[in-house]
Amino acid sequence: MTRVAFIGVGNMGAGMASNQVKAGRHVAAFDLSAAALDKAVAHGCSPSASVAEAVKDADIVITMLPAGKHVREVYEKDILLNAPTTALLIDCSTIDVDSARAVGAMAKAAGFRFGDAPVSGGIMAAEGGTLAFMVGCEEDDYPAYEEALKPMARAVFHAGDLGSGQAAKICNNMLLGVSMLGVCESFALAEKLGLDPTKFFDIASKSSGQCWSLTTYCPWPGPVESAPSNRGYEGGFLTALMLKDLKLAQDAASKAGATTPMGNQAEALYAMFDGLGFGQKDFSAVLQLMRGKLDELVG
């Protein structure tokens, strides 16, 4: 039986670890949150008292952590000192490219294979095993990463060398954040002009305005049954996480000398929305900011 150590079983990690269990793998889980660990155990994971305990016999180590500093610390102080060098190391966190490359360099120096493999898709995709993974690793190692990630994925892509996964994730989510704002603005304007929102959806979804933010993740309640807009904007991709990704994109753009005015504006709008207290709502809830109806998100 393949032995997986899963470090970080929070909102996203819990569903991901659960799908590793469903694939018939033994999953040793660790999280600083007792509640998160209890949830993972309820889905078939074995609890570990520490990172060191979780990784000691692992064939695969997967980390899903909040930020680059956490990833650097857990690899440097725990994983690289305690996991067998035969273990395949995979970081699925969304972090800055520099941190991914730094951790990869440490891992390689210690005799490990390491890849950055951030995900596209929210909590429901994590639970359903339908995430998209963007992997940055050496080309010869990619088949091993693809096989390791398969239980959690609808698609796995080799983005390029180490750090390329994070680069792809940052660019993809900047595009997502910008496109969602355009969709929300359009619905808000359509409403002001007296156009029925459902009819606008029917027209735009089959016209040149068609995009994922409209047809798969529609911010207006009704047209797309599975969208968070039909659940009070709960259980999707948090505004706070979108803001995090947009900040990473702007930091990367600054370092690379790239011009990203739309990404900059998107960051500012989501920062405003987060600052108003809606960081835990799905990012598509920014529609209510555009409509001037934030009261509909309260309670």
Cα distances (angstroms) measured from residue 38 to each of 21, 70, 122, 234, 262: 15, 21, 21, 22, 41
Gyration radius of the chain over CA positions: 20
pLDDT given at position 236:
86
Name residues whose C-beta falls within 8 Å of residue 188's C-beta, 6 or more positions apart in sequence.
287, 290, 291
pLDDT tens profile 26-80: 999 999 999 999 999 999 999 999 999 999 999 999 999 999 999 999 999 999 9
The percentage of residues in the chain with a pLDDT greater than 90, rounded to a whole number, is: 95
pLDDT grade, residue 299 (50/70/90)?
Answer: low
> Residue 235 gets which letter from DSSP?
S
Contacts of 259 (CB under 8 A, 6+ apart): 253
Residue 298 has pLDDT above 90, yes or no: no
Q: How high does pLDDT run on average in the chain?
A: 96
Supply angle C-alpha 117, 119, 123, rounded to 5. 145
| Structure confidence by residue, pLDDT tens digits, 195-242 | 999 999 999 999 999 999 999 999 999 999 999 999 999 988 999 999
What are the phi and psi torsion angles at 129 (to 5°)? Answer: 70, 35
Asked if pLDDT for residue 245 goes beyond 80, the answer is yes
pLDDT greater than 90 at residue 82: yes
Q: Sorting pLDDT into bands at 50, 70 and 90, what band is 188? A: very high
Active site residue 244: no
Task: Kindly state the helix (H) or strand (E) to which residue 29 belongs, with its residue range.
Answer: strand 26-30
Mean pLDDT of 137-157: 98
Q: Which residue in the list 22, 39, 169, 199 is annotated as catalytic?
A: 169
